[in-house]
Structure 1
Amino acid sequence: MSTPLGRRVAAEGVGTAVLVAVVVGSGIQATELSHDVGVQLLANSISTVFGLGVLIVLLGPVSGAHFNPAVTLAAWFAGRRSGDGPTLREVVAYVPAQLAGAVGGAVLADAMFAEPLVKWSTHDRFAGHLWLAETVATAGLVLLILGLGRTGQGRLAPAAVASYIGAAYWFTSSTSFANPAVTIGRTFSDTFAGIAPGSVLPFIVAQLLGAAVGLGLAALLFGAAVPSGTTTAVVVAYGETERAASAP
């Protein structure tokens, strides 16, 4: 029997909330401990790498550990014919949970550091090179996730995905949000990790474009068909044991 949808949706909401709390909270802490922007980014990225890796290990078996609408949509699109991806019903349930979790995580981080619970960010990130960076970051993330599934290496997802995000913090000018939910959540905190509301829409458009590019690259590099016994649907395959037991 597979994990009930309600439990999977809860895992996506809680996981996204904790992820954003890690990103925003470590950003606040880094700012309080150092005035050096490089040190702040280093602290923020290291915290995110470890936090994301732990969340994927813990919640991957429950929901797949997407924590990201772009990943959920890409997984649905990639698996819509083979049946390995989430259903449209699951997408409709996952995405609002991810968005609500992201907002809740930002508010939680603000509360832990005695910041105003809701204070719109004034950190402007409205520039073409940042949009390009978000396209590249999200394309790489989707390519990695689908590539791991199509090559039967899904077990490496916790380390691989966390490592990629950590690297992308440094090789992209935008510091690799690569996640529409996280982008929206970070508007609720006027801190080092924040993004001004006016900068959000182009970021999300770039992220969705990047997801489409990642899908295309995955098809080009690994083929459109999914090898038997693998999945492109999730970062970590939830319900894998139940599916194996029911297979003919």
Structure 2
Amino acid sequence: MMKPFFRLLTELSSRKSISRLTGSFAKSRASRGLIPRFAKIYGIPVQDAEKHLSEYASLNDFFTRRLRTGLRPVDVAEHTLVSPVDAAITGMGPIEEGLIVNVKGQDYTVEELLNFSPRTVNYKNGFYFVLYLSPTDYHRIHTPVDGSIIEKEHVPGKVYPVNEFGLRQMRRVLSRNERLITYMQHEGGEVAVVKVGAMNVSSIQYVKPLSNTLGRGDELAYFEFGSTVVLLMESDTFISRSDLHVGSKVKMGEALGLIQPS
């Protein structure tokens, strides 16, 4: 009985108007006083932040913080694809004829995730990672490969939670939520970085200025609240690390596997 009730509450709170109100407060100077408590509640390692807590202008400013230089070394081995974020892996595996199977008990098609883009065909038998960022994590998104941005798309949508509850209890969250999709060309083909918005602030922003040509580990975008990145690799272009599995934690810049050069 309680699950349908909580689903209803989540449906009601997933409206963009509520997210805008939450976001406005988080970006205001009035929210500064919440930063120390927020950091303590979520166990955020404040010593890793680029600045002292008192230097952040708002809760959102702290949430989108950069880290101290050198804390996230980027794997420089040849043909490596790296994690674009600090995250827990909540789904991974081969894409089977365009189907992403069993992400917290639900299947997704690449078509719906990519908003029925003509590029969908490139990922029909590729590989995917679902990377969940909790409020504790560093929320800047970096490039997983050396390459060039060949297309960007913003897909309006809902702002359901993308945590364990949201993925299991809400219907097809990853393909119903707001998304910012970046397609990059690299030495072995193409990769899609799908940034999925979440409940509350749900704002995904590209860094400015953003070059079309980027090195592995360069800043690409950032979340203004906890969310998820779905990383899609083109068919026959990627071999995953054998020791990674659902539940593994990864850091930005850490190798996820190898690109197979064309």
Measured against the shorter chain, the TM-score band is under 0.3
Question: Going by fraction, where is helix more abundant, 1 or 2?
Answer: 1
Per chain length, whose mean CA-contact separation is higher, i.e. which structure has more relative contact order (CA < 8 Å, sep 6+)?
A: 1
Q: What is the TM-score normalised by the length of structure 2?
A: 0.26
Question: Going by fraction, where is strand more abundant, 1 or 2?
Answer: 2
